[in-house]
Amino acid sequence: MPKLPIVADFKDLDKGDTELVGGKGANLAEIYHAGFPVPPGFVVTVEAYDLFLQENDLIHKIYDILGSLDVNDPAQLEEASKRIQRMILTSKVPADVSQKTISSYKKLSGFMKNSLVAVRSSATAEDMPGTSFAGQQVTFLDIKGEANVINKLRECWASLFTARSIYYRVMNKIVHEKVKIAVVVQKMVQSDVSGVMFSIDPVTNDKDRIIIESVWGLGEMIVQGSVVPDTYVVQKGTFAILSKEISDQSIRLSRINGKTKEFEVPKKLRDRQKINDKQIIALAKYADKIQKHYYFPQDMEWALEKDKLFIVQTRPVTTIAQTAKSEKTEKNSNVKFAEAPILTGAAASPGIGTGTVRILKSPKEIDKIKKGDVLVAPMTSPDYVPAMKKSAAIITDEGGQTSHAAIVSRELGIPCVVGTKEATKLLKDGQIVTVNGQSGQVFMGAGVKKT
């Protein structure tokens, strides 16, 4: 059996290499080969991860800790996670792994020498049906220099053992030992605008529509749900733009003067459409072609730099096979309300849920949630997942249909409304509300059955 590579260029990989380079790495290599505009890069493979664990004698130490762990004990889970991550972050990267990673980084940088790169975790169990692993592993943007790339490599490996990742695997009955992690190193796109697009409607599963979301600056804000994006709906086939919802965006994530941080969006740009109609149609055509290439609906991330579009990630839509949500929506559609909605936002996960409002300002407050409550937060992150699983419905101030709250709610089959802008201000703890995740509306009270 030939020895597996420690580092592999996109050109030497394809979608069949998931076990070697994880879902993210394999899909990037596949669309790179297919001729789509993908920033160049390479992958530090799971062989490097295995070698790191072996040379530092970490395998038994890690799985002994996990074997006796009760993930439903938050303190025990957090302590186990910290112990494992500390072992990884303080262990030496094998010389062979360091040398080959640095050599590939130099080659990628070319005459620019220390190029800026994105360093992205790529787990072998990502994007399975019903489990997207949304936000479970880490991505680092604007990384520069050999030492920094090696340090981020270690941090990506450690992210496999955050408390939320451990909990997520156990809750989804995924065996820890079967999940490994590769690391994608990709030339950085300095996005003027970036976003996410689905080759089907992710809420209704309408196969004739393409949904595109966009924000000023780097795309992390759209995935995290920390801003409300523009949303464009395009008809598949004709590529007619069916609707445009333009958001007012006051902050963006950008690299300016060598620093990547949040900056204010100039006032003249705040309520402006982020990309023009020609670019919307070009993205929709990419979405359609990528779906046809995979013979399956795709969830894609894109970036625009100096009027050039790039595809920086693609993965299968993980919720398309779930029919329970649409059945739930039909079953609950005979509820009526005496008054108008008290809040509206983006419909993010279908269904109708009624419960007691619990406002969480941070994931440290997740113990406030009891089974059947309505979780209300500025936005969610993977640390909210234990509380999300207990909730009857979810409402957020920020985010769009591709935010963490939206994706995880669809996986869980929980009604969700995002981007309300003011849920945490208007709603009060203890109120009873009903959330319609199909229409994006929130009503006071429980409603009554239609007769």
Other C-beta atoms closer than 10 Å to the C-beta of 437 total 32
β-pairing, 298-305 vs 308-316, is: antiparallel
The residues near 325 (Cβ < 8 Å, ≥ 6 apart) are 319, 349, 350, 351, 410, 413
392, 372 contact by CB (below 8 A): yes
Q: For the range 270-277, what are the long-range contacts, defined as Cβ-Cβ under 8 Å and sequence gap of 24 or more?
A: 271/246, 271/247, 272/246, 273/230, 273/244, 273/246, 274/193, 274/195, 274/214, 274/215, 274/216, 274/229, 274/230, 274/246, 274/249, 275/193, 275/214, 275/230, 275/304, 277/241
Other C-beta atoms closer than 10 Å to the C-beta of 116 total 18
Phi-psi region of 108 (alpha: psi -120 to 50; beta: other; left: phi over 0): alpha
- Comparing CA positions, the residue from 226, 251, 325, 243 lying closest to residue 284 is 243
Active-site choice (33, 176, 293, 404): 404
Kind plus residue range of the DSSP H or E element containing 123? strand 117-123
Q: What distance in Å separates the CA atoms of residue 76 and residue 62, rounded to the nearest whole number?
A: 14
Kind plus residue range of the DSSP H or E element containing 120? strand 117-123
Query: Is residue 404 flagged as an active site residue?
Result: yes
DSSP letter (8 states) at residue 163: H
Q: Six-digit token pair at 393?
A: 């419905």
3 state DSSP class of 299:
strand
The residues near 316 (Cβ < 8 Å, ≥ 6 apart) are 127, 129, 294, 296, 297, 298, 299
Q: Annotated active-site positions, please?
A: 404
